[in-house]
Amino acid sequence: MRSDIFSFCSDPAVLETFQWMSCYLTTGKHMGFYLSFGTVLLLLALAAPAALLFGFGGAMAARARFVPLSWLGRGYIAVVRGVPDIAFFLFFVIALDQGIEYLRHKVKCPDWDEPIRQGSDFIVCEAAKLPLGTSPQWIHETYGFALAVVTFAIVFGAFAANVLFGAMQAVPRAQIETAEAYGMTHRQAFWRILVPQMWTYALPGLSNLWMVLIKATPLLFLLGVEDIVYWAKELGGSKTANFTAYPHPDWRTWYFLGLLIFYLAFTRVSELVLDRITIRLSHGQATVAGEAQRKAS
Amino acid sequence: MSCFQTFQDYAFRSLGYGERLLPRSDFTLCEQFTLIGSGMIWNIYYGVLAVVTGFVFANLLAVGKNAKSPLARKPAEWFIFLFRGSPLFIQFFFAYSLFLSLKGMSSVFDPLSSAWLGALIVLFLNTAAYSAEIFYGALRSIPKGDIEAADAYGLTGWSRYRKIMWPTTMRLAWPAYTNEAIFLFHATTLVFVSGFPAWRQKGDALYYAKYFADKTFNPFVPYPILAFYFILLTLVLISLFGLVNKRLNRHLPKAKRPKLRFRPNLIR
């Protein structure tokens, strides 16, 4: 659907370069391309808090006094960080999918007697398939996207756990001791004293993590989501007059240049915003930055 | 087929020697270990060459960024911003399609569009930018006293840089640089999943791990094998860089020497 101002687009062959371009850039496929920028932003909006949650859980587990739990937390941090992230992305998408289907299979078809792995096939009963074979297309897409969000949360959760763990250790010991001297329990001291103070120590690490998360979003493409990389490849490839009214040679270089600029702008804006937040958060803190602010005012 | 036979057939498959066809069915653990290990040759090739060449260029960039003259400073700043501000994945895609269109113009550019050179160039530029930022940070934090002492001895220009500033820069930057190097080795796995094609199925470790995962639809075997190789590689790198670190800090009392800690900066 094109609005009336582009009515001259009905016969592309006769257009001037500028008009041809404006028609070309408003085709339905290009609208899909522009929308996929929204997909990336949505992923960031969902994955960042989820990763933070995983990170908080991981950090709490790693400093737990119960030893096996502490090992679990430390193991999670160490393994995810020691292996190329991309391997994790490829691994988790299949592993999560199979794990969920396996659990559903156990619940929904208890009297199934064949093995699930038969050679190179993974077979669960019809009812356990997720999404169901009969579901509409958008459910499949949403499911794929949700898997991607969870994968991002697991991988970046480990990095966030590492940052938060460091930040919790960085809060001066005297603060906790004072809290205990006032008769707070371990739990109270953690939530009322440690957690509010740790953010200023965690912020440099977390802002770095945010930058990294932005730069990891093109990996969505590998997880099978139709993101900006997918569209750039799709639209940039050479088109002939047989298939479209807008034939052009291979323009992928230009499309990827566009993505490059998008990411550069995005990281630059994030940098500026994060700098401001850092200034805000160091206000009144017993750190070098906080002290400098106190002296300046 | 014995495991030794498999090893003979596939140990150098990633370079094009040995059996031409990849295994198609009934994958054994031995085949998976051998082929993924064979792919590691490429990861090490990219990693070593990019680290060595990137190191030299990064030093140049760091000095450029630290220069007073905007003629030297601005290009270095922009270069570092360009490569640190955008995802490596997109850089690969962009470079590949750029190299393809260059190839169309002249056959001189032919090797650029194949992975062994084209991807190496991207990795080289990328690691140079990241390392340059580390070296620049270290250059800025050289103790004032060191420079004053150099001035007092009448050292200037190149000899001051070579004898006083550069060793201190390296000493300060080394722990962070170690992580950057480890991280670059991890980034080499991106080569064949981005634009660059694996010609005749000669790919890196991730390429083969993905091959097995796709064929068996079972990610629980090949990816842990890949993880095993990379953890091994990381340990080797840490010990190698640790030796250099020891040498750089040999004049310090033991308790004051900075320890290397594995703190990778994640994906890029």
- Hunting for tokens 């799709």 — which residue is that? A234
State residue B267's pLDDT score.
47
Question: What ipTM score was computed for the predicted complex, to two decimals?
Answer: 0.79
Helix/strand/coil for B261: coil
- Inter-chain CB proximity B216 and A86 less than 8 Å: no
User: Which has the closest alpha carbon to A213: A58, A33, A52, A34?
Assistant: A52
Q: How many domains does chain A have?
A: 1
As a whole-number percent, the residues of chain A with pLDDT over 70 amount to 84
CA distance B135 to B66: 10
Domain containing residue A202:
4-296
- Inter-chain CB proximity A83 and B90 less than 8 Å: no
Encode chain A (297 residues) as per-residue pLDDT tens digits. Answer: 455 566 667 666 666 777 777 777 777 777 778 888 888 888 889 999 999 999 999 988 988 888 888 888 888 888 777 788 888 888 888 888 888 888 887 777 777 767 766 666 677 776 667 676 677 777 888 888 888 899 889 888 888 888 888 888 888 888 888 998 999 988 888 888 888 888 888 888 888 888 888 888 888 887 777 778 888 877 777 676 666 666 677 777 888 888 889 899 998 999 899 888 888 877 776 666 777 777 777
CATH code of the domain occupying B3-11+26-256: 1.10.3720.10
Pick from B101, B209, B219: CB nearest A253 = B101
CA distance A91 to A76: 15
H and E: helices and strands count for chain A: 11, 2
- Inter-chain CB proximity B262 and A81 less than 8 Å: yes
- The model's pTM is 0.83
Calculate Rg over the CA atoms of chain B.
22
| Assigned token pair, B195 | 């634009």
CATH number at residue A156: 1.10.3720.10
Pick from B82, B97, B266: CB nearest A253 = B97
CA distance B100 to A199: 47
pLDDT tens for B182-213 read: 889 988 998 888 778 887 788 888 889 988 88
DSSP type of residue B68: S
Chain-centroid distance, C-alpha B91: 15
CA distance B35 to B212: 10
Helix/strand/coil for A121: strand
State residue B129's pLDDT score.
93
pLDDT tens for B108-154 read: 888 888 888 999 999 999 999 999 999 998 888 888 888 899 999 99
